[in-house]
């Protein structure tokens, strides 16, 4: 038996593509969750409501300070003992989304904080109402530098979704490991999926680097 079996490698590609499709779905839905939850968290922290905002701070710091793998284990193994039984796939999507919401919350905050103070002062001088200050002045200027950062997190989520294979989700890595244990050939499946991750994330990160140069102000 040769070290690399090309026939075997080609024969497993359709199955791997199915896993790849699951990975894309996980990434897409988790990203949406992280954008929405991150926004809520950053607004809560921004409003400085006594106890609630501190809880927001703790949420961000705790999630960022603990491993995604353990968070996934807790969601997958602990919730059922409270009678909350969900399939692995939606559980994984929510865990990944919540994990990254702690990062997007920081990104939103940084985007707003890096806005020059003069913008706030000018809005006040023009006596714009708060809603207009936010939606016509702050948000449009904060969004541009945020986009490449969020793009980077999207790529990281794409790669981190592989961790969800540990809670039995058959995404790209899970599929490759299953093929590996069925045929006892690991070299081909793991090498192929490594290249598949690379084939997506490398062009995307090049794209984001171009966006960065265009969108991030130098003030």
Partner 1 sequence: MNAVIEFGPLLLQGLWVTILVTVLGALLTIVVAFAAGLSGLSKHWWLRVPSSIFVEFFRGSGLLVQMFWFFYALPFLGIQLTPLMAGVLALGLNEGAYAAEVVRGTIRSRPKGQTEAAIALGMSPSLRMRRILLPQSFPSMLPAFGNVMVDLLKNTSLVSLVTVSDLTWRAFTARTVTGATLELFLTILVLYYLLSLLLGWLTRWLEKKYALDRKSLAKARPLKNLVGGVSA
| Sole binder of partner 1 in the list 64, 124, 132, 210 (CB under 8 A) | 64
Residues 158, 197 contacting (CB under 8 angstroms): yes
Nearest CB to partner 1, comparing residues 81 and 127 = 81
The yes or no reply on residue 186 touching partner 1 (CB under 8 A) is yes
Nearest CB to partner 1, comparing residues 126 and 202 = 202
- Contacts (Cβ under 8 Å, ≥6 apart) of 35: 101, 104, 150
The yes or no reply on residue 68 touching partner 1 (CB under 8 A) is yes
Q: What are phi and psi of 110, to 5 degrees?
A: -60, -40
- Please state, in angstroms and rounded to a whole number, the distance separating the CA atoms of residues 145 and 116: 13
Residues 183, 7 contacting (CB under 8 angstroms): no
| Sole binder of partner 1 in the list 50, 65, 83, 129 (CB under 8 A) | 65
The yes or no reply on residue 160 touching partner 1 (CB under 8 A) is yes
The yes or no reply on residue 177 touching partner 1 (CB under 8 A) is yes
What one-character-per-residue DSSP string does 84-120 give? ----HHHHHHHHHHHHHHHHHHHHHHHHHHTS-HHHH
Nearest CB to partner 1, comparing residues 35 and 193 = 193
Buried b (16+ CB within 10 A) or exposed e, 35-72: bebbeebbebbeeeeeeebeebeebbeebeeeebeebb
Candidate segments 45-53, 88-96, 130-138, 143-151, binder of partner 1 by CB under 8 A: 143-151
The yes or no reply on residue 125 touching partner 1 (CB under 8 A) is no
Nearest CB to partner 1, comparing residues 49 and 74 = 74
| Sole binder of partner 1 in the list 44, 138, 145, 175 (CB under 8 A) | 145
The yes or no reply on residue 108 touching partner 1 (CB under 8 A) is no
For residue 26, count CB atoms less than 10 angstroms from its CB and return exposed for 0-12, middle for 13-18, buried for 19 or more.
buried
| Interface positions with partner 1 (CB under 8 A) | 3, 62, 64-71, 73-74, 77-78, 81, 106-107, 110-111, 113-114, 145, 148-149, 152-153, 155-156, 159-160, 162-163, 165-166, 173, 176-177, 180, 185-187, 190-191, 193-195, 197-198, 201-202, 205, 208, 212, 216
């Amino acid at each position: 038996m040769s070290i690399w079996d090309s026939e075997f490698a080609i024969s497993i590609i359709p199955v791997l593509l199915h896993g790849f499709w699951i990975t894309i779905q996980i990434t897409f839905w988790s990203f949406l969750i992280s954008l929405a939850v991150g926004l809520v968290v950053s607004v809560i922290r921004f409003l400085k409501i006594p106890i609630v905002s501190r809880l927001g701070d703790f949420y961000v710091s705790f999630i960022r300070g603990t491993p995604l793998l353990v968070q996934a284990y807790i969601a997958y193994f602990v919730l059922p003992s409270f009678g909350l039984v969900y399939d692995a796939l939606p559980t994984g999507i929510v865990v990944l989304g919540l994990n990254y919401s702690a990062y997007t919350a920081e990104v939103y905050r940084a985007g707003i904080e890096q806005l020059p103070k003069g913008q706030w002062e000018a809005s006040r001088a023009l006596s714009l109402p708060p809603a207009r200050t936010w939606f016509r002045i702050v948000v449009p200027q904060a969004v541009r530098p945020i986009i490449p950062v969020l793009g980077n997190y999207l790529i990281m989520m794409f790669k981190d979704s592989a961790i969800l294979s540990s809670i039995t989700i058959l995404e790209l890595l899970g599929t490759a490991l299953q093929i590996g244990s069925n045929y006892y050939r690991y070299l081909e499946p793991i090498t192929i999926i490594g290249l598949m991750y690379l084939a997506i994330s490398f062009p995307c990160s090049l794209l984001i680097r171009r966006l960065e140069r265009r969108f991030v102000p130098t003030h």
